Every structure is written in C-alpha cells, then in structure tokens.
Amino acid sequence: MACGTTAAPSQHWQCISGCGCCCRLDPARRPEALEALDPEQRRQYLEMVGADGWCIHFDTGGQRCRIYADRPDFCRVSSLIQLFGQRGEDGDALAIACCTQQIRSERGGRGKVMRRFLRAIRRSR
C-alpha cells in the first residue's frame, strides 16, 4: 500500500467534518484502494467515480457526503483498514498515514484541513 504506517502512540485516527479528501475516488490516484476491494465492491466504487474524479455523492460546495449514513463499507475507514489486515494501533497508524497523504494531495500539507486533522488526532484519546 502507498500509505506509510507511522503514527505517534498518542495519536488516534478521527475523521473531521468539512474535509472530504477521501471522496476523491479517481482510480489513477487510488490504485491501492481498488486492489483491496473484492470484484463487487470494485464495481460499486467505479460506478461512484464522477467525471471529475470525485465521488458522485460528495457535495463539493458543502464538503460533505450526501449518503454518509448509508455509504458503502469501503467508504468507512474502519472497514477499509480491515481490508488491509490492520486493527487497533496499527489500524490507527495506517488510517492516519492515508488521511495525511490524501489531505496533503488534495488540500496541501500546510492548509487549514491538515491543521484541523492533526489537532483532531492528537486530542481524540
């Protein structure tokens, strides 16, 4: 997988509102995610990719998922991390590394979203 798995022991993964960086589903940018999915999940994933590479259910203006409560399992970080065989602190480390990489790619490494994410994972324990 492209994401590294180093996280400080005091860090605990947590999703932040108004981010949505994981909703950029462009297969060219997320090959490791596609490889982890079974054929049915892969089909559903690809059906969700819009022409601009973003999930068709992502409200880019409001920076939120329109189907959050009913989103597929592979859109739930805990389920996706398990697909890679990770749990507990290893799962947190992988989720943090992947989110950090995705946020950096979409919003920059020094932007507001990154700062909010780093604050959230530090104080969430």
Domain ranges of the chain: 21-123
What is the block-wise mean pLDDT of the chain (125 residues), using blocks of 10 residues?
A: 56 90 92 90 96 95 93 86 78 90 92 94 71
What six digits make up the tokens of 123?
């104080």
What six digits make up the tokens of 121?
């994972």
Residue-level pLDDT at 10: 74
Helix (H, G, I), strand (E, B) or coil at 64: strand
Provide the b/e sequence for 11-28 (b: ≥16 CB within 10 Å): bbbbebeebbbbbbbeee
Q: What is the DSSP string of 34-50?
A: HHHS-HHHHHHHHHHB-
Whole-model pTM: value is: 0.79
Helix axis angle for 112-123 and 88-107, nearest 10°, is: 170
Residue-level pLDDT at 1: 44
